[in-house]
Amino acid sequence: MREWTREEKYRYLKDPQELKDLYDRISKSAYRQTFHNQAVTGLMNDPNGFVWHDNRWHLFYQWCPWGAVHGLKHWYHIISKDLVTWKNLGVCLLPDQEDGYDNKGVYSGSAMPIDDKIYLYYTGNHRDADWTRHAYTCLARLGNDGWPEKYPLPLFGANPDYTEHQRDPKIIRIPGSDTYYMIIGAQTKDKRGCALVYSSEDLQHGWTFLGEMKVPGFESFGDMWECPSVEHIGGRDVLLLCPQHLTIPGRGQSQNHNGYIIGNMDWETLTFTPDGQFHVLDFGFDSYAAACANNLQDADKAILIAWMGVPDVSYPTDEEDWAGCLTLPRELTVRGRRLIQQPLPELKKLRDEKLPFTANEAGCYALPRAAEVELDCRKGDVSLYLFTDEAGKGGLSILYSEERKEITVDRSGMRTRFNESEGESRTRPLENGLSHLRIFVDSSSIEIFVNDGDAVFTSRIFPTKEEHFFRIEGDTFNRMWTLKPAVKEQFLI
Ligand code: FRU
């Protein structure tokens, strides 16, 4: 694996042409996605600033141009009318000054559109010459002409009562209230993850620290909470968070998790009262830093997009100098004490050709590069082997056991294995059995929606040329479509 020097990781982007050769090389990779957003070059991680404004969806993401390394982060801007097809607009927020508040990265954050502007809240990741970290909460204003204006001074600096791990401002407006709230992921001095709450009557000024969010039962839950957010869905409050450096049963040795707690948020007392436990948002291997659109008018649902990746993991395309992509947008609703996550209804527009199930001698079907496979499952065990070779060997297995009432996704049969140390299989109980599977396959990812969104497994996979077949065992009724490209490969910085 390539070793990056600090100078290489944190090099400022001066001229887009510096990236052209890199882009030309990367765009030829067999693992470039066809209907998922991915960076033109380098590394993409968290989605940021997801809003509806000026008749289109705006989304930004963390982007390090130079390669598959968590180095100098920028905000890259993409737009969509329907959340299905997307267009690159180019880099939006750049860390471009050695003495700036964000001199070592424009880190994650969120957005709020007002009148003809989108206000972008982000963490300025500043490092002194001796590499001491300082986190600033910063603001920029984006006009409809696409031109971002950074405010010269941060809204506030790090709270001295916590460590310097303070980041990812999420701006929240409560319907019927004139107060804006902002929550920030943080770490206490005795290394506990938490969320800090600020408020203001004005988006641009007067932010005051209200206190640490109290979440009874979760006082000691990981050592840092990244990307926390409180969403109001279907009359309930949902605390989304990425607790770090703890292991969770069923998630192998993984140290980074993205999950949620359903409950009730009292903004007066800053108390989030859980109604139930912490649930993992996604049971797959590669999903983190999920963000919900900030100004959806429908109070019964939310729309969520996550980074299809996790921190501290190397991916096979690192060698090709790129990594990361975004998940498909999902519609979130609350059912009882759980979130239901379904692919957006609009994604049916991606369907192209409906394919017949014509098996080869080994009983396998050809698996297109970009496809949707849907199964109605009647009763009994179901076994699905995707990305097998022509003889039906190897691949990623999805196994449902009727006796144990659980589903297991295992990617250890793939020829290209990675991140094995965090575990290669994940299991989720299905109390009511398995009735439905909807699976989206792209060149290097798979998203498996179980029982209409009751559980989701999202994973990167890197099939070789031979691994493009699949077979199904069980009492199922199956359909399959090829999917159209939805994101144009285009060099735009
Ligand atoms: C989460 C995260 C955030 C941070 C950003 C930097 O993946 O570590 O906490 O703001 O990524 O890219």
pLDDT the model gives residue 244: 98
Identify any residues that bridge with 38 across adjacent strands, giving them in sequence order: 325
pLDDT the model gives residue 92: 97
pLDDT the model gives residue 176: 86
| One-letter amino acid of 310 | V
Q: Which atom of ligand 1 is nearest to the CA of 167?
A: 10
Rounded CA gap, 71 and 410, in Å?
Answer: 31
Distances (CA, A) of 286 to 143, 181, 198, 227, 308: 34, 30, 31, 16, 5
Is the minimum distance from the CB of 256 to ligand 1 under 6 angstroms? no
pLDDT the model gives residue 271: 98
Q: What is the DSSP string of 5-59?
A: PHHHHT-----GGGGHHHHHHHTT-TT--SSS-B-SSEEEEEEEEEEEETTEEEE
Is the minimum distance from the CB of 108 to ligand 1 under 6 angstroms? yes
Q: Report CA(45)–ligand 1 centroid distance (Å).
A: 8
Which residue of the set 15, 21, 46, 190 is catalytic?
Answer: 46
> Measuring CA to CA, which residue among 383, 381, 373 is closest to residue 471?
383
pLDDT the model gives residue 488: 84
Q: Report CA(109)–ligand 1 centroid distance (Å).
A: 9
pLDDT the model gives residue 471: 98
Convert the pLDDT of each residue in 47-58 to its tens digit: 999 999 999 999
Neighbours of 93 (CB within 10 A): 25
Q: CA geometry: angle at 451 spanning 445 and 452, to 5°?
A: 80
pLDDT the model gives residue 2: 85
Is the minimum distance from the CB of 45 to ligand 1 under 6 angstroms? yes
Contact 390, 466 (CB under 8 A): yes
Q: Report CA(419)–ligand 1 centroid distance (Å).
A: 20
Is the minimum distance from the CB of 73 to ligand 1 under 6 angstroms? yes
pLDDT the model gives residue 297: 83
Q: What is the DSSP string of 147-175?
A: -EEE-SS-SB---TTEEEEEEEEEEEE-T
pLDDT less than 70: residues of the chain: none
pLDDT the model gives residue 1: 76
pLDDT the model gives residue 138: 98
pLDDT the model gives residue 135: 98
pLDDT the model gives residue 298: 84
pLDDT the model gives residue 39: 97
Is the minimum distance from the CB of 63 to ligand 1 under 6 angstroms? no
The reply to whether 178 belongs to the active site is no
